[in-house]
Amino acid sequence: MRKIFLLACVAVLLFGGCRNASQNAGEDSQIVIATLKGPSSMGMIQFIDSISTSALSQIKSAHSQIKSAHSLIKIDILNEPMQVRKMMLDGSADFAILPTTMAALMYNKGVDYRLMAIPVWGSLYLVGKDSTITGWANLRNKRINVMGRGMTPDVLFRYLLEKNGIDPETDVVLDYSFPTHIDLANAVAAGIADMGVVSEPFATLVLDKNRDVRTLFDLNLEWDKLQGVAMAQTAFVVRESFLRRHPQKVKQILSAYQRSSLWVNQNLDSAAKLIVKYDILPEHGLALRSIPRSNILFVPAAGIRDGVDRYLRIFYDINPDIIGGKMPDENFIN
């Protein structure tokens, strides 16, 4: 986990001025953003860098911590969604980026965070070495590795199989031997697993490590074909009490993230360098190739209610418990 602490005078950039010590002593003197390694933090990398540079911060390792007596913004770049979930449960994150299904689950369980935007629109790929696979029918009788039974990749892949005439219970063997994306990516790259459903940036990592591996299906594109709308896979949420007290700050954070996402897509080389600088990915070339495959696009949620609802309903219809036993009510999206 990486923690980036930004000095209070960064307020000049976001909020129009610095605050003194007494003003910073309140509950909201520090704004905490919990994000994930991968497309989520890749999309906000220009935002991270601009405020980090302005604060004259230096990051020395993935476990480093830069302390300031009057810090205003803290960005935690975490490895797993469950770490983000923990910060939401204890209320330590004002903003959080996590799978949309988990955001809905938390909301339905009474953890009051509101969906503000979708910053990543699907980053799942089926990768493998089998050159005989040219269509869905070719997957019959194949062993396919998937990370985490009941998790987002598993549910979405099962849905796509069924919609393309493949019974996930009888026509294929779904193997859950590798519990994380990186475990599965390494297994496919090493030839231990024949093929696997892997998200970015790990899908590109596999292709880089083993030149015999190719992308068999762009699962995001396959979803688009069925739904007519992109996969609302990742959510950007804000704590409701923070939103109520500081609506202008929320708007400014949203605007900064949106500008960053646009900048990343328009400046691939510079963005890739920053992604390596902040230890999100280890190599410039990997970052450069992964960005276009990550479907980074910051879209305010209020204008895409139907797309979010359709996405969540897939999970609800398969297993309501995945999103907390019910569809979120209208207040979930701000």
pLDDT in tens, the chain (334 residues): 665 544 333 333 444 444 333 333 334 578 999 999 999 999 999 999 987 765 434 333 333 333 333 348 889 999 889 999 999 999 999 999 999 999 999 999 999 999 999 999 999 999 999 999 999 999 999 999 999 888 899 999 999 999 999 999 999 999 999 988 889 999 999 999 999 999 999 999 999 999 999 999 999 999 999 988 889 999 999 999 999 999 999 999 999 999 999 999 999 999 999 999 999 999 999 999 999 999 999 999 999 999 999 999 999 999 999 999 999 999 999 9
Give this prediction's pTM: 0.85
Distance of alpha carbon 311 from alpha carbon 233, whole angstroms:
8
> How many other C-beta atoms are found inside a 10 Å radius of the C-beta of residue 148?
16
Catalogue the E-assigned strands of 86-204: 95-99, 113-120, 124-128, 143-146, 173-175, 195-199
Nearest-5° angle of CA 255, CA 259, CA 273? 135
Whether 124-227 and 2-122+231-332 are alike in CATH topology: the answer is: yes
CA distances for 233 relative to 49, 106, 199, 223, 275, angstroms: 25, 15, 11, 11, 21
Domain ranges of the chain: 2-122+231-332, 124-227
pLDDT at residue 53 in the model: 62
CA distances for 278 relative to 8, 41, 234, angstroms: 21, 10, 21
Distance of alpha carbon 189 from alpha carbon 122, whole angstroms:
22
Distance of alpha carbon 286 from alpha carbon 273, whole angstroms:
10
Distance of alpha carbon 1 from alpha carbon 65, whole angstroms:
10
Distance of alpha carbon 36 from alpha carbon 33, whole angstroms:
10
Say whether 126 sits in a helix, a strand or coil. strand
Closest listed residue to residue 142, CA positions, set 238, 204, 36, 216: 216
pLDDT at residue 228 in the model: 87
For domain 124-227, say whether CATH 3.40.190.10 is its number: yes
Tokens found for residue 175: 């193997």
CATH of domain 2-122+231-332: 3.40.190.10
